[in-house]
Structure 1
Amino acid sequence: MACAETDVDFGTIPLAALNVTVRKKLGLYLNPRNAVAADWMVVAEAMDFSYLEIKNYEASKNPTTMVLDDWQARSTGATVGKLLSILMKVERNDIVEDLQPLIDEDVKRFHESQKKKADPPLQVPEVDSCVPRTLERNGITLEDDPEGTPELFDAFICYCQSDFHFVHEMIRQLEQTEYKLKLCVFDRDVLPGSCVWTITSELIEKRCKRMVVVISDEYLDSDACDFQTKFALSLCPGARNKRLIPVVYKWMTKPFPSILRFLTVCDYTRPCTQAWFWVRLAKVLSLP
């Protein structure tokens, strides 16, 4: 199947291209248990989720969203085309027909954004200033040499401002001890003046071996943390290279983010394992 406007094969478009509107509408169709038409459980089975996983999703208010998020995070085959083929396989052509215009629009938008990234912008070789210019992705951190090797880090720390006191403790435990790890803390290491999303993507993908996600109730409300987490997950489907390390340091009142539930968590809230917390975190961040 292809987008009528761009002639792009849906099988090459990752599920991340579908925005919130499409996902909500999918939930409206699939969340209600249906004795006649296939519901979210049938779709989850077609995505190869186990019986126990599906039973756990039942407790959620929006199981369709949880299934889509987990499928997107752990499967390299989670594409728009595969989702549509599953819906047609379980005879939910009504959903495909109703959502086709919205899906086409999302695919078109995603395709255009990828094309802009691939095609370098046309630039005049010289402008009216004789001052040397620094490329946007060079000279972005305190110790960057714009004309030399970019500054590299062991881990990017994804956090919200209310958790910054724990980030300070992380710096003390991992950088200022025998571990001597190099952490990328945005508020400390990144120079001001550049596009936040561009710089964040560059740091996570090119400059940092791993990303530590500090999970809290406040984290769940942060758009920046949401972007950073999903971007990092898109770089390592199935968590094959331990690129994303979730950390919980205080008790939460909100549900743990479903998109990270399949990853092993470093939990500071359990008194019986606190003594091993920093050792385990340092060890995984020290891996090549």
Structure 2
Amino acid sequence: MACADSKVDLWKIPLIALNMTVRKELGLYLNPRNTVAADWMSVAEAMGFTYLEIMNFEASRNATLAILEDWQAKGQEASVGKLISILEELERKDIVEDLLPVINKDVTRYLESLERKSEPPVQVPEVDSCLPRSQERLPITVEDHEDAPEMFDAFICYCQSDFKFVHEMIQQLEQTEHRLKLCVFDRDVLPGSCVWTITSELIERRCKRMVVVISDEYLDSDACDFQTKFALSLCPGARSKRLIPVVYKSMKKPFPSILRFLTICDYTRPCTKAWFWVRLAKALSLP
């Protein structure tokens, strides 16, 4: 099975490539219980979930989103091609026909993000004999050195409207006895670099953890969406406790289902607020 535009084998594309828009559209088709056409229960059964697991999904606000996230956590078994195959086997070709164009767009964006991550630096003609001939990677952060790249305890994923809270996070985690080192893009990354390439490099190689500052604005941010999905792809099922969601203010929109299986740090609860920074600091200090 291939992508209509680029002839990509969709069986090799992990489910994480599908963004929230496609997942919500699938829910609109599959969530209503249907005695004629296959619904989310039939899809869950075809994915290999047990009867008990399926009964637990029924308690979810959006059963389709829940099964997609749990299936995605199984790793290579969950692919875009496999999902389409399941829908076709269940005679839900109506869904495939309606959503294939947007699925292909998501797959294209996903592959482009991988290419940006792996593409070599642009080569330019030498115009000055005094230019350094070293092939060392150029610095990407303020305190980078040729022999010692700057390392961090955590990458902070945030949108601009939440920067006031990020500033408080800096004060509480860096400038106290915790002495943690945070990677804050606007403060630490040198200008002039490719955003996607540098972000991937920092999350995968320079930062032990990633803190995701969740807000209504976060849900509308393409950059935050990419960073979160990229970090999740590095630790399927959150086995390494690599990603830590933080909620610091009340939200009008639903909490992102892609993070619903992770334990969150909730700054909005008065009864636990006193322990918030200690818990977060301890989580970020783990080896």
TM over 0.5: yes
Q: For residue 174 of structure 1, what is the aligned residue in structure 2?
A: 173
Structure 1 residue 212, shift from structure 2 partner: 0.3
Give the paired residue count: 282
**Counterpart Cα distance in 1 of 2:21 and 2:218:** 22
**Counterpart Cα distance in 2 of 1:191 and 1:112:** 23
Q: For residue 194 of structure 1, what is the aligned residue in structure 2?
A: 193
Quick check: 2:154–2:210 contact (8 Å CA) kept in 1? Answer: yes
Unaligned runs of 5+ in 2: none
Unaligned runs of 5+ in 1: none
Q: Which moved more, 1:10-19 or 1:221-230?
A: 10-19
- Does structure 1 residue 13 correspond to structure 2 residue 13? yes
**Counterpart Cα distance in 1 of 2:136 and 2:251:** 38
**Counterpart Cα distance in 1 of 2:163 and 2:111:** 37
Q: For residue 54 of structure 2, what is the aligned residue in structure 1?
A: 51
Quick check: 1:213–1:229 contact (8 Å CA) kept in 2? Answer: yes
**Counterpart Cα distance in 2 of 1:204 and 1:2:** 30
- Does structure 1 residue 232 correspond to structure 2 residue 205? no
Listed one character per residue, the Cα deviations across residues 109-130 of structure 1 (whole Å, up to 9, x for unaligned) are 7557656765747846x52234
**Counterpart Cα distance in 1 of 2:182 and 2:193:** 20
Q: Which moved more, 1:238-247 or 1:4-13?
A: 4-13
**Counterpart Cα distance in 2 of 1:164 and 1:210:** 19
Structure 1 residue 23, shift from structure 2 partner: 4.9
Listed one character per residue, the Cα deviations across residues 53-93 of structure 1 (whole Å, up to 9, x for unaligned) are 42233x34xx5455435543x23122123213322443434
- Does structure 1 residue 252 correspond to structure 2 residue 251? yes
RMSD: 3.2
Quick check: 2:155–2:207 contact (8 Å CA) kept in 1? Answer: yes
Q: Which amino acid aligns with 1:37?
A: A
**What's the % identity of the aligned pairs?**
73
Q: Which amino acid aligns with 1:194?
A: S
Quick check: 1:70–1:258 contact (8 Å CA) kept in 2? Answer: no
Q: For residue 156 of structure 1, what is the aligned residue in structure 2?
A: 155
Structure 1 residue 237, shift from structure 2 partner: 1.1
Quick check: 2:117–2:196 contact (8 Å CA) kept in 1? Answer: no
Counterparts of 1:1-288 in structure 2 under 5 Å?
A: 1=1, 9-18=9-18, 23=23, 26-27=26-27, 29-47=29-47, 48=49, 50-57=53-60, 59-60=61-62, 64-65=64-65, 67-69=67-69, 71-72=71-72, 74-76=73-75, 77-96=77-96, 114=114, 120=120, 123=123, 127-129=126-128, 130-132=130-132, 138-145=138-145, 147-288=146-287
Structure 1 residue 260, shift from structure 2 partner: 0.7
Taking structure 2 as the reference length, what is the TM-score of the superposition? 0.82
Taking structure 1 as the reference length, what is the TM-score of the superposition? 0.82
Q: Which amino acid aligns with 2:92?
A: R
